[in-house]
Structures are given as C-alpha cells and as structure tokens.
Amino acid sequence: MISTLRRRLALALAVAALLTAEVAPAVAGPAGPSAAERLRRDAAALHALGISGVQARVVGPDGRQWIATSGSADLDTGRPVSSLGYFRMASTSKTLIATVVLQLEAEGRLSLGDTVEDWLPGVVRGNGNDGRRITLRQLLRHTSGLYDALPGYTSPQEYYEQRYRVWDAGQLVDLALAHPPDFPPGSDWSYSNTGYVLLAMIIQQVTGHPAHREIENRILGPLGLDETRWMGASPTLPRPHARAYEFFGPGLRVDVTDRIPVDHDNLSWVTTTRDENRLFRALLQGRLLPARQLAKMKQTVAVSADVQLLWPGGRYGLGLVQRPLSCGGVYWGHEGGDGGYITLNGVTGDGRRSAVVSMSEARGDTMEHVLEQESAASTLIDHALCAAGSSIR
C-alpha cells in the first residue's frame, strides 16, 4: 500500500535519529578513500533529509564492496542500521517477472507478440479493455493502456484498516477493468502494476507453476541468491531489518513495517543490498538471458512526463529502466518502493559496477519531499557508478 501521490508518480514503490555512518570494505584489500568517502556522504545526506535509516552497497569491477549506513533502524530504540538488513523488494520484482517471460520466449514456449487473450481467454474484457489487442510486450513495457488499480493508503487510518487485507490476482484485475483504458494499446506509456499481475498469471498458465516458483528455480537458485525470499501473505520480514516508516506530514510518521503487500503474489519479495547487486550484475552480464532476449529487454521507450520528474532522462525497456550517467553513458536498474521501504539500484551496461541504496522511510506527503528523496538517492547511485580512481573502475 503506497500513498496516492507516489502511485500517481508510478511507483509501486517517508524526529531526527542519531546519525551513525559506517564505511568499510566488505572484501579485504585497500579501499579507495575518495569513493568510500563520497558514499558515506551521500548516505548521510539522505538521512539529513529526515529519512530514518539508509543502507548502501557498491560493488566494483573486481568484486570489492563498499558499504555505508546512516541513521537508525528503529526510532524507539536507536538500533543502528545493519548493512545486511532485509527490505521489501517491491517493484524491483518486475525485473524478475520480465526475466522469466523472456526465458520462456527463448525456450519457444511463448512469444512477446502473443496477446493476453491467447493465454488468458476472456480475462481482460469490458469498459473498452480488450485482451485481444494487448500483447505481452506491451504489458512488459507499460504500454498496454491498462488502468493501474493497485490499492494504496493515504493516511495512517487507512494503513491500519488495510494492512492485513489479502487480495488475489483476479480481484486486482477486476479493479483495473472497472476503469476504461488510459489509452489504446501501444499508443502511449503509463506505469501499470496490472500488467505485471497479468504476466504472473501468464507465467503460471505457460509453466503450470506460480510465478514465484519459476523465479526461485530459474533465477534465485542458479545465482545463489539465498537472501531473496518470497514471503507470500506474511506481514513480517526476516531479521535483521530496519523498521519501515511512512511520513504523512508533520507529527504523522507511522511505523508501517508489518503489512501484507496488496499484490502479494508479485510484490512480497524481500531481499538485501548484497543480493540485489548480484542480481543486476548477473542480468547485465548475460548470465540469465541469451543475448537476443537481453537486447530486447534493453529496447526502451519514453516514459510519461510525471515519471520523467523522478527519472530525468529515463526510459523503460522490458522490466528494466535505463537512466543517464553524469559521467556519460547510461545505467540500468529498476527501483522499488512499498510500505515505507524505498530502494534504488543501478548497474553499468557491462554489469561490472553496481550500486544499491535502500531507505526505510518514504517521505510521500508532498511532491517536494518525493522528488527530494528520489533525487538524493539517484545522486548516490550516479556517484557510485561514476566513481573514478583505482578503487572502483
């Protein structure tokens, strides 16, 4: 459940705490002081905005890692942020769904030109919605026109009322179909969680297994990502983890850690900065997809004007976001935000340098705060990927 403001900005993605900044190489060897110091400062800058807890991890081409934490994992106890803390993956899991779909295409079990109707007959109909006109490629790229109907909360009261409600995929699709499409399929771009609900249903139709099982067997197992877990309808996270907070305005900072993600089939993944770095490095290094499918994943289209505010110069591929680097070139990733956890990530095109920053507070009360948090986190990623010198090349 995310604020209406953040949902409008297309993120299925918030009392000061004692600053505790830590920077240390996670692998033996000399650290690059300039890169490490910049990471520490960027993590501290996020905390200075009022974000309760921050953890960041950068991995260089030689595999060495740099870690920074800032703030508190629990505002009641002052417990420090753990660099090994779990957080909700949220919409970053769209990259997992897209990868499985592209693997199935590589195996000849489906085509990106297939329609929703081909795999889910009669499911997408009504109010001008027509699954016969929507392709899998359009679902992956958010050009289907399907209304984004993922429910969210906009106040503490709504959070307490809705946090343990369980929705199934059919209910979420029905919510979307109660609205006419935003535009004819393929004619524009608008972030739609509904499209990925349908893709997960299609994965199950093709394979006979739930999407989360295919993700575990095809991605997590082969890569050894044992810190990435599907929690289903569980409202809790493994330990250690920072408490998650939503900032609804002055005097309205609420602990929103315990909750069941609305789309628990797809958005109930938890992970760590270590695993998320390993995932995106493996993907861009071609370890999960054949070259042809990875090239398709990286074919991008322009995003909507509101999302350009969040991702200046950003473009969307198939479950993968392309953003420009200040030092030239581009990087790839897919941020996620839900239930107080906001995470940004990035990896260079060759998969050799990567960075992840996870924040345990969503400041979603005003547009200014949303953009301020997004900009500061994006700056951390950019600095990490553009770092010069002998430490991170």
Q: Is residue 37 part of a domain?
A: yes
Q: Which of 155, 133, 156, 157 is nearest to 145 (CA)?
A: 133
Q: Is residue 194 part of a domain?
A: yes
What span, in angstroms and rounded, lies between the C-alpha atoms of 134 and 349? 30
Q: Is 73 within 8 Å of 360 (Cβ atoms)? A: yes
What span, in angstroms and rounded, lies between the C-alpha atoms of 391 and 291? 30
**Stated pTM of the model:** 0.92
Q: Is 281 helix (H, G, I), strand (E, B) or coil?
A: helix
Q: What are phi and psi of 257, to 5 degrees?
A: -60, -50
pLDDT digits (tens), the chain, 393 positions: 333 334 435 443 333 233 333 444 444 344 444 789 999 999 999 999 999 999 999 999 999 999 999 999 999 999 999 999 999 999 999 999 999 999 999 999 999 999 999 999 999 999 999 999 999 999 999 999 999 988 888 899 999 999 999 999 999 999 999 999 999 999 999 999 999 999 999 999 999 999 999 999 999 999 999 999 999 999 999 999 999 999 999 999 999 999 999 998 889 999 999 999 999 999 999 999 999 999 999 999 999 999 999 999 999 999 999 999 999 999 999 999 988 999 999 999 999 999 999 999 999 999 999 999 999 999 999 999 998 543 333
Q: Is residue 391 part of a domain?
A: no
CATH of the domain at 279: 3.40.710.10
Domain containing 337 equals: 4-386
Q: Return the amino acid letter for 250.
A: P
Partner residues linked to 357 by β-bridges: 56, 344
What span, in angstroms and rounded, lies between the C-alpha atoms of 160 and 74? 19
Q: Which of 269, 277, 229, 242 is nearest to 57 (CA)?
A: 277
Q: Is residue 299 part of a domain?
A: yes
Q: Is residue 263 part of a domain?
A: yes
Q: Is residue 393 part of a domain?
A: no
Name the domain count of the chain: 1
Q: Is residue 365 part of a domain?
A: yes
Counts of helices then strands in the chain (DSSP H, E): 15, 18
Q: Return the amino acid letter for 218.
A: R
Q: Is residue 103 part of a domain?
A: yes
